[in-house]
Amino acid sequence: MTTEPLADTGLDDPHAHPGEAESRETTEGRVYTVTGGDWDEFIDETAGEERVVINLGPQHPSTHGVLRLVLELEGETVTKARSVIGYLHTGIEKNTEYRTWTQGVTFVTRMDYLAPLHNEAAYCMAVEKLLGIEAPRRAQVFRVMLMELNRISSHLVFLATGAMELGATTGMTYGFREREEVLHLLEYLTGLRMNHAFIRPGGVAQDLPADYREKIQNFIKVMDKRLPDYDKLFTGQPIWKRRLKDVGYLPLDGCLQLGVTGPLLRSAGLAWDLRKIEPYCGYEEYDFEVPTSTDADCYARYLLRLEEMHQSLKIIRQCLDKFEPGPHMVEDAKIAWPAKLSIGPDGMGNSLEHVRKIMGQSMESLIHHFKLVTEGFDVPPGQVYVPIESPRGELGYHVVSDGGTRPMRVHVREPSFVNLQAMPAMVEGGLVADAIASVASIDPVMGGVDR
């Protein structure tokens, strides 16, 4: 029995025969389009088919953003899994080639939007390496504190979204509640909650506020009180454990073959953390542990990230003791912009006092300021690769300069992109419901994957 094609569109009328499953051959095999009726009727028509191919995403609450998973199923078991990316492509790497070195910060901070400060820090460290300079100690400590605050907020989103995807909605409300505490503090310190563009080549945009110590200590007290609640809510919870234990198993040899880093690698037993292995920003001076596990499953990754938040708080406490009087930006006036920034009452533009000072100094200084802002500074030719430990693993910036005021090439080794390649190994052979937990434990951010 066939349907007559519609005159205007050439398509079959989807309402002509409710319950009929039209089929067509595609690159994925035979695909059925169900146009109404009962599921039982569809099963009867497709009897004999050994597999079903489904699309999970890209618009789906359990795919961590615009990620599409093509899953081949036999019953409830995933026999083949592929990820389809590119839905959030923003061309950030290419865009940096058309902006000055300082303006590039505004782009890279939008890649992994849950770890913007890590992207800013890695990019600026690469530029500084090309310039042959180093940010002042006060700026280095400030960077470490901002990155650890960012690590906490990122892991809280992992907890919140992962819990929501598994049906634990209380965990979602807890996670975003605590994340608000972090974002409030970051807004107080940098002026923005996300996409800060606060870490700049040569240091940071402005110095710490006057009462920063009290604000940070209050934040630490709140987090010390609330983080143990996650153990009460999840760690011993039998349903949570059964959903995560022995799910998404990826042993150490699999991690090494796939280039996986971050909590996924550490959950397989290797204490690989660039803050310890290849210290940067003075991390060798800080006392903290790198938690590991040998279970290599989703539950181990949950426990590791929870412990990493405690370790980040430990580092932030030490930052408060390491702040010393000094500049927050290099003294070189040809690089240091905006070294003496004064924020206006709207939190965005320069204050009137700052503008008057620039305008009133001299014509030469005004011209210099104008050229620095509009043209930027020259960076000696060369190429560097600078890796740091982001919340998801090794975040590396390969930056090439041809000696001009703009990058010749900026390429990012993005941990979400690399780690996502482990998804089939974690998912295939398991249940389709466990695929959700496995992808959540990878914690991919599609802004970083696609960029």
| Lookup result for tokens 């095999």 | 29
pLDDT at 212 over 50: yes
Cβ atoms of 103 and 373 closer than 8 Å? no
Does the predicted TM-score (pTM) go above 0.75?
yes
What pLDDT band is residue 205 in, cutting at 50, 70 and 90?
A: confident
Whole-number percent of the chain with pLDDT over 70: 86
Task: Count CA atoms within 13 Å of residue 307 on its CB side.
Answer: 16
DSSP string computed for 134-192: ---HHHHHHHHHHHHHHHHHHHHHHHHHHHHHTT-HHHHHHHHHHHHHHHHHHHHHHS-
Tens digits of residue pLDDT in 190-203: 888 888 888 999 88
> What is the per-residue pLDDT for 49?
60
What pLDDT band is residue 15 in, cutting at 50, 70 and 90?
A: very low
Average pLDDT, the chain: 85
In the chain, the amino acid numbered 42 is F
- Overall residue count recorded for the chain in this entry: 451
**In whole angstroms, how far apart are CA 272 and each of 183, 248, 344?**
28, 20, 43
> What is the per-residue pLDDT for 26?
75
Helices 169-190, 137-165: crossing angle, 10 deg rounding: 160
> Residue ranges of the domains in the chain?
21-84, 92-337+376-450
pLDDT at 83 over 80: yes
DSSP string computed for 251-271: -HHHHHHHT--THHHHTTT--
The conformation of residue 207, written as its DSSP 8-state character, comes to: P
User: What homologous superfamily is domain 92-337+376-450 in, according to CATH?
Assistant: Cytochrome-c3 Hydrogenase, chain B (1.10.645.10)
3-state secondary structure of 360: helix
| Lookup result for tokens 């500084």 | 128
